[in-house]
């Protein structure tokens, strides 16, 4: 069975600094997708970034980038120039195709606090 | 386009009661998934519906059930509530089910408290 592990329950970072959130996963699949979702306090979960496993190039979205290490089954999220609005719960998610649809598995989340 | 909406946003029930939660997906989205979010457990997948058919199911007891209507709106029902059912229930919609994966959009959730 697939599992997703986020080993850092809580983290904090000073405004304008860089922080990296870790995520590891376990799978025997070769084709899958990985995501980072952000859930701000009392607000809706939104997609931050996604990575297709067949792509070697790391995905980047503005200040957010990933370090995807397929062999190591690692998918970390780097947030550069942290802003107060980045304070949120961050979830790493694994997705693979199953008959007729896709199956998502989420980690337990990392609570990130950006300090002024 | 309006986002995913869920009603009610907050709900308080007592043990043994039943509850129905509602989710309206983004217009044009035909796939609706339900998740239970609890501290320390993250998001646990409940089930997915597409075109009124359940396509996928997580490891939850039969007390948890759902359905989808022809307009893609979905409801989730929990019968014989237990204290451990207290959680944030999230609904997420996607445009398709199968084929190239598209982004899953989440609703604000329904906070259920069981006393």
Helix (H/G/I), strand (E/B), else coil: B110: strand
Tokens of A19: 């922080």
- Contact list in A for residue B59 (CB cut-off 8 A) is none
CA atoms within 13 A on the CB side of A113: 6
Give the residue from A38, A40, A45, A110 with the most B CB atoms within 10 Å of its CB, the best one to mutate.
Answer: A45
Tokens of B99: 């084929």
CB contact under 8 A, A44 and B3: yes
- Written as tens digits, the pLDDT of chain A (116 aa) is 679 999 999 999 999 999 999 999 999 888 899 999 999 988 889 999 999 998 889 999 999 999 999 999 999 999 999 999 999 999 999 998 888 788 889 999 999 999 99
Rounded to a whole number of angstroms, the distance from the CA of A111 to the nearest CA of chain B is 11
Q: What's the confidence (pLDDT) of residue B40?
A: 76
- Contact list in B for residue A43 (CB cut-off 8 A) is 108
Residue ranges of E strands in B2-86: 5-7, 10-13, 19-24, 31-38, 42-50, 53-57, 64-68, 74-78
CB contact under 8 A, B42 and A91: yes
Q: What's the confidence (pLDDT) of residue A43?
A: 82
Instruction: Give alpha helix (H) positions in A3-99.
Output: none
Q: Give the nearest partner residue to B106 out of A44, A108, A109, using CB atoms.
A: A44
Q: What's the confidence (pLDDT) of residue B106?
A: 94
Cis peptide before B8 (omega within 30 of 0): yes
Q: What's the confidence (pLDDT) of residue B100?
A: 62
Tokens of A84: 């107060």
Asked if the C-beta of A89 comes within 8 angstroms of chain B's C-beta atoms, the answer is no
Round to whole Å and give the CA distance between B32 and B51: 9
Q: Give the nearest partner residue to B101 out of A100, A102, A105, using CB atoms.
A: A102
Q: What's the confidence (pLDDT) of residue B39?
A: 83
Do B92 and B107 form a contact (C-beta atoms < 8 A)? Answer: yes
Give the residue from B23, B43, B55, B105 with the most A CB atoms within 10 Å of its CB, the best one to mutate.
Answer: B43
Round to whole Å and give the CA distance between B34 and B46: 5
Do A92 and A71 form a contact (C-beta atoms < 8 A)? Answer: no
For chain B, 115 residues long, the average pLDDT of each consecutive 10-residue run is: 91 97 94 92 91 91 96 97 96 76 88 97
Question: How far out from the chain centre does Cα B39 lie?
Answer: 17
Q: What's the confidence (pLDDT) of residue B41?
A: 80
- Contact list in B for residue A98 (CB cut-off 8 A) is 56
Asked if the C-beta of A95 comes within 8 angstroms of chain B's C-beta atoms, the answer is yes
Tokens of B65: 């059930």
User: Cβ neighbours of residue A57 under 8 Å, at least 6 residues apart?
Assistant: none
The residue of chain B nearest to residue A96, with distances taken between CA atoms, is B101
């Amino acid at each position: 069975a697939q599992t997703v592990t986020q080993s850092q329950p809580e983290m904090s970072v000073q405004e304008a600094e860089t922080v990296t959130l870790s995520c590891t996963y376990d799978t025997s699949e070769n084709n899958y997708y990985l995501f980072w979702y952000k859930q701000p306090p009392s607000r809706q979960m939104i997609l931050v970034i996604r990575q297709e496993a067949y792509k070697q190039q790391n995905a980047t979205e503005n200040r957010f980038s990933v370090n995807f290490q397929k062999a190591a089954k690692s998918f970390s999220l780097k947030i550069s120039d942290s802003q107060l609005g980045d304070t949120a719960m961050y979830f790493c998610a694994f997705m693979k195709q199953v008959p007729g649809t896709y199956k998502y598995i989420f980690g337990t989340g990392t609570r990130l606090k950006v300090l002024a | 386009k309006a986002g995913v909406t869920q009603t009610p946003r907050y709900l308080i029930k007592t043990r043994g009661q039943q509850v129905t939660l509602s989710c309206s997906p983004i217009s044009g989205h035909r796939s609706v998934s339900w998740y239970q979010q609890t501290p320390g457990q993250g998001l646990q997948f409940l089930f997915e519906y597409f075109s009124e058919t359940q396509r996928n199911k997580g490891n939850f007891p039969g007390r948890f059930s759902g359905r989808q209507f022809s307009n893609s709106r979905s409801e989730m029902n929990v019968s014989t509530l237990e204290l451990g059912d207290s959680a944030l229930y999230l609904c997420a919609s996607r445009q398709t089910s199968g084929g190239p994966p598209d982004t899953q959009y989440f609703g604000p959730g329904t906070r259920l408290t069981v006393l």
